[in-house]
Amino acid sequence: MKQLDKGADPPDPPADPLSTATNPENGLSRILRLLLQELSLFYSRDVNGVCLLYDLLHSPWLQALLKVYDCLQEFKEKKPVPATTHAQKLSQEVMELLRETPNSSEIQELRQILQSPHYKALLSAYDTVAQKDFEPLLPPLPDNIPESEEAMRIVCLVKNQQPLGATIKRHEMTGDILVARVIHGGLVERSGLLYAGDKLVEVNGVSVEGLDPEQVIHILAMSRGTIMFKVVPVSDPPLNSQKMVHVRAMTDYWPQEDPGIPCVDAGLPFQKGDILQIVDQNDALWWQARKISDLATCAGLIPSNHLLKRKQREFWWSQPNKLHTCLKSTISISMEEDDMKIDEKCVEADEETFESEELSEDKEEFVGYGQKFFLAGFRRSLRLCRRKCHLRQPRASVYCPDSCCSAVGAPYEEVTRYQRQPSDKHRLIVLLGPSGVGVNELRRQLIEFNPRHFQSAVPHTTRSPKSYEMNGREYHYVSKETFESLIHSHRMLEYGEYKGHLYGTSVDAVHAVLDEGKICIMDLEPQDIQVVRTHELKPYVIFIKPSNMSCMKQSRKNAKILTEYFVDMKFKDEDLQEMEDLAQKMETQFGQFFDHVIVNDHLQDACARLLSAIQNAQEEPQWVPATWISSDSMS
Ligand SMILES: Nc1ncnc2c1ncn2[C@@H]1O[C@H](COP(=O)(O)OP(=O)(O)OP(=O)(O)O)[C@@H](O)[C@H]1O
Q: Could you tell me the distance, in angstroms and rounded to a whole number, from the CA of residue 596 to the centre of ligand 1? A: 19
Longest pairwise C-alpha distance within the chain: 104
- Which tens digits make up the pLDDT trace of 260-285? 888 888 899 999 999 999 999 988 89
Taking a C-beta distance cutoff of 8 angstroms, is the pair 127, 86 a contact?
A: yes
pLDDT at 17 over 50: no
Q: Could you tell me the distance, in angstroms and rounded to a whole number, from the CA of residue 517 to the centre of ligand 1? A: 28
- Which tens digits make up the pLDDT trace of 149-181? 557 888 988 887 777 888 899 988 888 999 988
Question: How much is the pLDDT for 25?
Answer: 55
Q: Could you tell me the distance, in angstroms and rounded to a whole number, from the CA of residue 559 to the centre of ligand 1? A: 7
pLDDT at 331 over 50: no
Question: How much is the pLDDT for 436?
Answer: 92
What atom of ligand 1 comes closest to residue 559's alpha carbon?
29
* Averaged pLDDT, 461-472: 92
Q: Could you tell me the distance, in angstroms and rounded to a whole number, from the CA of residue 560 to the centre of ligand 1? A: 7
The CA distance from 49 to 57, in Å, is 12
Question: Which of 383, 439, 441, 570 is the pocket-test mutation for ligand 1 (most atoms within 8 Å of CB)?
Answer: 441
The 10 Å Cβ neighbour count of residue 276 is: 24
Is the distance from the beta carbon of residue 436 to the nearest atom of ligand 1 less than 6 Å?
yes
Model ipTM? Answer: 0.98
- Which tens digits make up the pLDDT trace of 406-437? 445 789 999 999 999 999 999 999 999 999 99
Question: Which of 556, 582, 598, 607 is the pocket-test mutation for ligand 1 (most atoms within 8 Å of CB)?
Answer: 556
Question: How much is the pLDDT for 3?
Answer: 39
The verdict on domain 151-232 having CATH code 2.30.29.30 is no
Taking a C-beta distance cutoff of 8 angstroms, is the pair 199, 177 a contact?
A: yes
Residues of the chain above pLDDT 70, percent: 81
Question: How much is the pLDDT for 250?
Answer: 94
469 by Cβ neighbours in 10 Å (0-12 / 13-18 / 19+) ranks as: middle
Residue nearest to atom 26 of ligand 1 (CA): 435
Question: Which of 435, 440, 503 is the pocket-test mutation for ligand 1 (most atoms within 8 Å of CB)?
Answer: 440
Q: Could you tell me the distance, in angstroms and rounded to a whole number, from the CA of residue 441 to the centre of ligand 1? A: 5
504 vs 383: which has the higher pLDDT? 504
pLDDT at 148 over 80: no
Q: What is the mean pLDDT of the chain?
A: 81
Is the distance from the beta carbon of residue 609 to the nearest atom of ligand 1 less than 6 Å?
no
Q: Could you tell me the distance, in angstroms and rounded to a whole number, from the CA of residue 359 to the centre of ligand 1? A: 15
Highest mean pLDDT among 8-12, 62-66, 299-303: 299-303
Q: Could you tell me the distance, in angstroms and rounded to a whole number, from the CA of residue 428 to the centre of ligand 1? A: 22
Taking a C-beta distance cutoff of 8 angstroms, is the pair 376, 443 a contact?
A: no
Q: Could you tell me the distance, in angstroms and rounded to a whole number, from the CA of residue 339 to the centre of ligand 1? A: 18
pLDDT at 550 over 80: yes
Is the distance from the beta carbon of residue 560 to the nearest atom of ligand 1 less than 6 Å?
yes
Highest mean pLDDT among 5-9, 81-85, 354-358, 631-635: 81-85
pLDDT at 439 over 90: yes
481 CB-near residues (< 8 Å, 6+ apart): none
Is the distance from the beta carbon of residue 377 to the nearest atom of ligand 1 less than 6 Å?
no
Closest alpha carbon to 289 in 239, 257, 242, 236: 242
35 vs 509: which has the higher pLDDT? 509
* Averaged pLDDT, 32-46: 72
* Averaged pLDDT, 537-553: 95
Question: How much is the pLDDT for 335?
Answer: 36
* Averaged pLDDT, 296-307: 91
Is the distance from the beta carbon of residue 437 to the nearest atom of ligand 1 less than 6 Å?
yes
Residue nearest to atom 2 of ligand 1 (CA): 603
Question: How much is the pLDDT for 389?
Answer: 64
Question: How much is the pLDDT for 368?
Answer: 78
- Which tens digits make up the pLDDT trace of 192-239? 889 989 999 999 888 998 888 888 888 888 887 888 999 998 887 767
Residue nearest to atom 11 of ligand 1 (CA): 559
CATH class of the domain whose range is 245-318: mainly beta
Q: Could you tell me the distance, in angstroms and rounded to a whole number, from the CA of residue 531 to the centre of ligand 1? A: 25
E strand or H helix at 371: strand 371-374
Question: How much is the pLDDT for 579?
Answer: 94
Q: Could you tell me the distance, in angstroms and rounded to a whole number, from the CA of residue 539 to the centre of ligand 1? A: 23
* Averaged pLDDT, 588-609: 95
* Averaged pLDDT, 470-498: 94
CATH for 330-634?
A: 3.40.50.300
Q: Could you tell me the distance, in angstroms and rounded to a whole number, from the CA of residue 459 to the centre of ligand 1? A: 20
Closest alpha carbon to 461 in 491, 490, 501, 511: 501
Is the distance from the beta carbon of residue 335 to the nearest atom of ligand 1 less than 6 Å?
no
pLDDT at 490 over 70: yes
Is the distance from the beta carbon of residue 441 to the nearest atom of ligand 1 less than 6 Å?
yes
Domain positions in the chain are 87-130, 151-232, 245-318, 330-634
pLDDT at 514 over 80: yes
Buried b (16+ CB within 10 A) or exposed e, 404-413: eeebbbebbb
pLDDT at 144 over 80: no
Taking a C-beta distance cutoff of 8 angstroms, is the pair 476, 461 a contact?
A: yes
Three-state secondary structure of 34-68: HHHHHHHHHHCCCCCCHHHHHHHHHCHHHHHHHHH
- Which tens digits make up the pLDDT trace of 357-371? 344 444 777 887 778
* Averaged pLDDT, 448-475: 93
